[in-house]
Amino acid sequence: MSNYSLASQQKLDTCHPDLQALFFYVILGYDNTIVCGHRGEQEQNEAFANGYSQLQFPQSKHNSYPSMAVDAVPYENGHQDWSKTQSANFAGYVKGIADLLFRMSIISHKVRCGVDWNMNMDIDDTKFWDGGHFELVEP
């Protein structure tokens, strides 16, 4: 069974309680690392400048505090795996657990993945592929 490093946990701690609850369960079955929780103004505008985000501060869901978005990436053999296949597998796993927790009223938001922005369960029509991005949306 996996658990988060201190660095990952500290990033997760900047996120909304629903994201904290979700990834508490996710890490039990799928090793991953938390890359980003809350992003302040400088970090957000750097992410925008580097093409990692399409939004400038304060429009990203990472910019609120607590953060309404988290970036988490599968961790395999000591490395972060950002491949399209792993991102899609991981997103499906996270989404499944999120839906279950929502139905059990453990979390009160739905979760949207950066590999399926329009939430139509089709990753082939995703224009801005943001593997590892998960954000809370109102149900």
- Which residues bind to Zn ion, rule: CB under 5 A? 69, 71, 133
Shortest distance, CB of residue 105 to Zn ion, whole angstroms? 26
Shortest distance, CB of residue 88 to Zn ion, whole angstroms? 16
Tokens 């809370």 locate to: 136
Token digits of residue 110: 């739905």
Q: Which is nearer to Zn ion, 73 or 101 (CB)?
A: 73
83 Cβ contact partners less than 8 Å away, ≥ 6 residues apart? none
Shortest distance, CB of residue 111 to Zn ion, whole angstroms? 12
Q: Which is nearer to Zn ion, 1 or 59 (CB)?
A: 59
Identify the sign of the CA torsion 100, 80, 43, 28: positive
Q: By Cβ distance, which residue is nearest to Zn ion?
A: 133
